[in-house]
Amino acid sequence: DLQLLKSKFRGSMLGVLTGDCLGSPYENEDLLTNGMKLVLQKSLDKLEGPAYKAPVMQFTDDSAMTRCVAESLVERGELDLIDLAKRFVKSYYQEPNRGYGAGVVTVFQKLRGNKFKDVLLPAREQFNGQGSWGNGGAMRVTPIALFAHQNYENLLDLTRKATEITHTHKIGIDGAILQAIAVQQCLHLDPNNALNVCDFIEELICKMDKIEQDEEGLDLAEAQPYKRKLNVMRKLISEDKEGPRSEEVIRHLGNNIVALHSVPTAIFCFLRAQKPITGIETENPLRRAIQYAITLGGDTDTIGSMAGALAGAFYGEDKFSSNLLKHCEASAEFAHLGERLYDTVSTQ
Ligand code: R7I
Ligand code: MG
Ligand code: MG
């Protein structure tokens, strides 16, 4: 169904944006103990309610870099690393106060300094040569997943390459890969049928098992860390009818800027939100996914954004409240970028 697929393209780009806009005010707040959870509930209720005038909620680096990836793919018709690197740098220098990671700014400075002669070198030099394991690759990967959704091997290859402009640590790259293949799975599922959560995780485990095995020998502290997290996730989601307590989710999956401690968490939030969650009052499973992700605290914009991308890719555009979208900066532009990606993919 092509209409549905187009709606999913628009929806996943809107998910990136809205999760980011809604999550960023709560970064590193403790939402579990101090009544902030209720503040969030009321704020989202109001945003979805009758129109009222307020300054738009601004997006951060997550959406800024996602927009660069989408625009580059649409305008070049392929992954062009130099073009993409130039867009990242230009976008950063135009709006440096979008909340970028502390380390990645050095990459931008060096790229500009060497005039993009070696676009991969600055990232390799990060953190004494071990590369960044931040979630910056994963947070911006959605357009790659959309662009390459018909070809799994290509999706892996493009994700690796696009990530390596800033993140070369295996944890950073595989986090981006995990998010990309999860978006792809969402894209290919029918939202009119109940999602089989265990099958969804099982499929991710199979894929990450292969990916992490192929990369063995790069001496990580722990072998196959993403596969292990996915196994933990499967346990967390199936053990308890009520669902695990948020403290348990944070303890086992994490909620910080490390890709390993945020990508599995975002996937968990999307899957958990298939069913009602105590304390999150909404009938809308897409809003539930984003709201739940934010209540876990920590890196709320990024985990909210990645959970939103998954929910948007699964449900499509219809589940987004039009009132809420009016309060998010550049929402029409992000939906349109999803559509342009759809057009690019379908005319190739
Ligand atoms: O990964 P990155 O783009 O940051 C993304 C995050 C998201 O939450 C955004 O919303 C924004 O807030 O930032 O940027 P990096 O600077 O590459 O990584 C983020 C941070 O992770 C770094 O500034 C470091 O504090 C930490 N980090 C590391 N620390 C030690 N050793 C990343 N890699 C390493 C490492 O190898
Ligand atoms: Mg951010
Ligand atoms: Mg963040």
Strand, helix or coil for residue 280: strand
Q: How far is the CA of 96 from the centre of ligand 1 (A)?
A: 16
Supply the DSSP string of 60-77, one letter for each residue. Answer: -HHHHHHHHHHHHHHHHS
- Look at ligand 1, atom 22, and give the residue with the nearest C-alpha: 103
Residues 6-62 have pLDDT tens digits of: 999 999 999 999 999 999 999 988 877 768 899 999 999 999 999 999 999 999 999
| Ligand 1 interacting residues, C-beta cut-off 6 A | 60-62, 99, 101-104, 127, 130, 132-136, 139, 169, 257, 299, 301-302
Average pLDDT by stretches of 10, the chain with 348 residues: 97 99 92 85 97 96 99 98 98 98 98 97 98 98 98 98 98 98 98 97 98 74 92 92 91 98 98 96 98 97 99 98 98 98 94
* Cα 270 to Cα 182: distance, rounded to the nearest angstrom: 10
Q: How far is the CA of 100 from the centre of ligand 1 (A)?
A: 9
* Cα 257 to Cα 44: distance, rounded to the nearest angstrom: 24
> Which atom of ligand 1 is nearest to 135's Cα?
1
Q: How far is the CA of 303 from the centre of ligand 2 (A)?
A: 10
ipTM above 0.90, yes or no: yes
Q: How far is the CA of 9 from the centre of ligand 3 (A)?
A: 22
Helix ranges (DSSP H) in the chain = 2-23, 36-48, 61-76, 81-94, 104-113, 121-124, 126-129, 136-139, 142-147, 152-163, 170-187, 197-214, 225-239, 246-253, 263-272, 285-295, 300-315, 322-326, 331-346
